[in-house]
Chains A and B, each alone.
Chain A
Amino acid sequence: MGLALAVASGLVLALAAPWVCRHVPVHIAGWMLALAPLGGFVYFAAVAGSVVSGETVRFAVPWVPGLGIDLSLQLDGLGLVYALLICATGALVFGYAGTYMSEYERAGRFFAVLLLFTSAMLGIVVADNAIALFIFWELTSIASYLLIGFHNERGAARAAAWQALLVTSLGGQALLIALLLIGSAAGGYEISAWVGSRASIQASGVYPAALTLLLIGCFSKSALVPFHFWLPSAMQAPSPVSAYLHSATMVQAGVFLLARMHPILGGSGPWIVSVTLVGAGTVLVGSYLAVLQAAFKAMLAYSTIAMLGASALLLGIGTPIAVQAALFLAAGAVERGAGVTGVAESFGLWARMPKTAAATVLAGAAMAGLPPFLGFVGKERVYGAVIEAEAWVFWLVPVTLIAFTAATTVAALLALRPFLHADRSQVDDARDPPAGLWLPVAVLSGMALGLGVMPGGVARFLAPATAAVVQTPADLELTLWHGFTRPLGLSVGSIVAGIALFAVWDRWHDRMREHQAERFGPGRWYDLTIEALLRTARIQTRVIQSGYLRVYLMIALLTTVVLVGWAVLRGSVWEWQEAGKPQSYEAALAALIVAAAFAAVLARALVTVVLALGVVGFSVAIVYVLFSAPDLAMTQFLVETVTVIMFVLIFYRLPRMAGRPSHTAVVRDAVLATAAGGLMTLLLLATIAVPRYPEAAEFFLLRSVPDAHGRNVVNTILVDFRALDTLGEVVVLGTVAVGVYVMIRQTRRALRARSKSPPEPVSGEPGRPPAGHERSG
């Protein structure tokens, strides 16, 4: 129960957030709303002891019992580590965001979405049901979309949000299919139960497809190569969002799911090769592009990508990514305090922003993995793992070396460059931002420091998480000082190399920048794909949406005639039934209908056409009367009446017909009309040939009074026996009326805006419609 509350509290507070932000100053509201992640943190910390000692906390309620789906949450060692991370960074980011967003009008909406995200993210890490996991997963994508596009007045923000949504939700679809495949192979949707049927899942025929789709889902969510391009664009979001979603938590979801699925799908050749190669590729691409950037956030984005690649590469080994969040926050603080956004332009802020500078340097040291930060411990551990890895992955050693070198360089660039060289300062009015902006930076980095000093405690938490991934009791030992070992040598090497790169960055950066490496990456492919899609849509619209009612009508009729006619001619039976000799009045009625139809076709004035069609309609109503269907007859009479009124009203406003249509047009229309009429006749004959079903009529006649309290059987069917049909029809009717209203009003408004000249006569020949009357029908 507590588990469900911890997840749901964000959702509940999200509803209250807009109200809170309206009535409380935003910088205070931020800390108030931080209660949701803070409460979650307290809860997870409280149950941590029992989870570490091997218990699992479980909560389940039936959700869709018909499909055997429960809403089940389960907290194990792996989920606990992530949940604590989400809540801790969450609380600090919320506090920070309160100060950061205080100048924005839509802070309430911002916090509502951020709270929704927190809940969904917690849901991902504790979900045990695969379907629930997928829904939480998609919720984070949607929250991310809304937050990236928060500055929706900026085109770049909208494009970035759209891109992130397309990439991650495409991955989400792949993930859903993968989960369904695994579920079908395992015979259930509880992830904890999947672990037990690992062998049968991996042996089943769906395994290759399920693995491929799952990897696509995870790679796209975590911005691994080749899906990495959406993350740098996502930096359009406000700084707290970049820190929280696009560095500390959401992008971790893919890596998390890889870890979660490792005991189920992992261990096979394809898994090891693809995860390792993609991870290594991401590390190289991310590191390379990170040092090429000049803007804080772009640098951090690529460096985040590199770290995510490393996490994928070394699944199950601690990740130093939380401190990345601290640097994002620092970037926001510098941006606010000094109004600068890049490393190339900002110098000498140390004296003016001492508190921000101190906090940022702390964060940079944490990210660079200097001892005694947690990053250092993690780095040692990673080097150790890489050195001990199997022979075929020997090349992982240089890859990790490059990754940590680049991380050190980026950390140094971000933490030192804005603040050094007071003599070159160009920003005179810079000063420390409010405490809300630099304190969370300091706290996050302080946490990295504190945990680094006592790695034993961290190991105690990480051991059950590792155990959940590799499914064997893990004996994880983390120490700050191993002695003079090879990992230490590599560690020192990467720090030295990183600082060396930092020293020569100025000269090197300008030269490399000219190559513009991003121009050839998948980001470019994405742009080309979207462009091609839009161009196809434009061409298709131009071809199909001509704007002429008669063309639409022709397409609709032709499609119906061809498809239905083909089916009728091929499959159905129809028979000519001898109906007996028609009565004289029946013959007269038929003659009237035929004559009126001819008159409608041959008439030269629109009003005559309408009246002739009216005669056809009313005559048909009389046919209904003759065959004792009074309800139908009444309806037909009224519909006909209102139709004629409508036609008259509309034609009253149309220009007169200008001349006769051409000979070809007449022949074309005649052929089409004959075909449509012939098809209807065929259908009627086929309907007659179908054997009657007298039991239905008997049932309704028998039951209408006792069951539906009505003697009018037709009406009882309409409003009682088949009321669902009526429900649907009424909705359609209302929708159509509103559609007509909106369409005509919009067209009229557009026309009025364009010109006030009267419409020209409509000709019977194709050509652009002069005033768009037909478009509005």
Chain B
Amino acid sequence: MTKETRPPIFPVAAGFLLPLILLFSVFLFLRGHHEPGGAFVAGMVAAAGFSLQTLARGAGATRAAFRRPPRFLIGVGLLLVAIVASAPVVVGDALLRARWLTWQLPSGGVIEFGSPMLLEAGVYLVVVGSVVTVIMTAMGE
């Protein structure tokens, strides 16, 4: 398919779909700790979204959306994972030991934030970066 013969519906629809897909991906990511979901699945959803975008509008659009090469995300993700994994060692704890912060809300609810969430964020970035890198490479980017 060359640029001239490509029907306009697909690219336009992809443009609307991408934000929704990414939102869904974030939803899956946050949900993962208590309900089915999680970093890997969320990352795959985001990657599928970007793949759709790449198919519809070409690699240039995706590259513009990323600003840096997508493989950059792999490095950031691995760095994050490495930091989360090794930070406990620095303070004399075991590798990957989880730490949790808990706030008791006046309404009775609880907000929790733990280092595994950072680990998940790293996994998410690596998954998105890897899949998008491979797809863009296959596209001839």
Using a CB–CB cutoff of 8 Å, the interface residues on chain A facing chain B are 630-631, 634-635, 638-639, 641-642, 645-646, 649-650, 653, 708-712, 714-716, 718-720, 723-724, 726-727, 730-731, 733-734, 736-738, 740-741, 744-745, 748
Contact = CB atoms under 8 A, between A and B. Distances in A.
Contact of A630 (B36, B44, B123, B139): B36
B116 A734 contact: no
A733 B129 CA distance: 10
Given A737-B134, A738-B133, A638 B44 contact: yes
A737 B81 CA distance: 17
Interface in B47-95: 47-48, 51-52, 55, 71, 74-75, 77-78, 81, 85, 95
Nearest to B139: A649
A646 B32 contact: no
Contact of A712 (B36, B122, B137, B140): B36
Contact of B140 (A726, A733, A738, A748): A748
B96 interface: yes
Of B32, B55, B71, B75, most buried by chain A (CB within 10 Å of CB) is B32
Given A734-B126, A744-B138, 19 more contacts: A631-B36, A631-B41, A638-B45, A641-B44, A645-B51, A649-B138, A649-B139, A650-B138, A653-B138, A709-B33, A710-B33, A712-B34, A718-B38, A724-B96, A726-B123, A734-B75, A738-B71, A741-B134, A745-B137
Contacts of A641: 44, 48
Contacts of A638: 41, 44-45, 48
B111 to A, nearest CB: 11
9 contacts: A634-B41, A638-B44, A642-B48, A712-B33, A712-B37, A730-B81, A737-B129, A738-B74, A748-B140
Nearest to B123: A730
Interface in B100-141: 100, 112, 114, 116, 119-120, 122-123, 126-127, 129-131, 133-135, 137-140
Judged by DSSP, the binding face of B is helix
B62 to A, nearest CB: 12
Contact of B78 (A630, A650, A709, A730): A730
A501 B14 CA distance: 91
B92 to A, nearest CB: 15
A715 B33 contact: yes
Contacts of B36: 630-631, 634, 712, 714
Contact of A734 (B41, B44, B78): B78
Contacts, number: 128
A645 B44 CA distance: 12
A631 B36 CA distance: 5
Main secondary structure on chain A at its contact with chain B?
helix
A734 B74 contact: yes
B98 interface: yes
B140 A734 contact: no
Contacts of B139: 649
B137 A719 contact: no
A349 to B, nearest CB: 59
B4 interface: no
B33 A634 contact: no
Contacts of A740: 133-134, 137
A748 B114 CA distance: 44
Interface of B: 32-41, 44-45, 47-48, 51-52, 55, 71, 74-75, 77-78, 81, 85, 95-96, 98, 100, 112, 114, 116, 119-120, 122-123, 126-127, 129-131, 133-135, 137-140
A265 to B, nearest CB: 41
A712 B41 CA distance: 14
B46 to A, nearest CB: 10
A634 B45 CA distance: 10
Contact of B131 (A642, A716, A745): A642
A712 B38 contact: yes
A239 to B, nearest CB: 43
B137 to A, nearest CB: 5
Max chain B C-beta neighbours (<10 A), residue from A634, A723, A724: A723
Contacts of B100: 709
A468 to B, nearest CB: 42
A650 B41 CA distance: 23
B71 A730 contact: no
Contacts of B52: 645
Contact of A646 (B38, B45, B74, B138): B138
Shortest 6 CB-CB contacts between residues of A and residues of B = A737-B130, A638-B44, A630-B36, A710-B33, A711-B34, A734-B74
Candidate in A718, A719, A727, A734 with the most chain B CB atoms within 10 angstroms? A719
Nearest to A734: B74
B50 to A, nearest CB: 10
A736 B38 contact: no
B63 to A, nearest CB: 14
Contacts of B134: 646, 737, 740-741
Contacts of B85: 723, 727
Contact of A634 (B37, B71, B116, B129): B37
A737 B44 contact: no
B135 A646 contact: yes
Nearest to B102: A709
Contacts of A734: 74-75, 77-78, 126, 129-130
A68 to B, nearest CB: 22
Given A740-B137, A741-B137, A716 B55 contact: no
A253 B105 CA distance: 70
A720 B78 contact: no
Contacts of A716: 33, 116
A646 B138 CA distance: 7
B96 A727 contact: yes
B96 A737 contact: no
Contacts of A733: 126-127, 130
Nearest to A641: B48
Nearest to B45: A638
Contacts of A634: 36-37, 41
A646 B130 CA distance: 13
Nearest to B95: A724
A649 B77 contact: no
Given A650-B138, A724-B96, A733-B127, A741 B41 contact: no
Contact of A720 (B45, B116, B126, B135): B116
A744 B98 contact: no
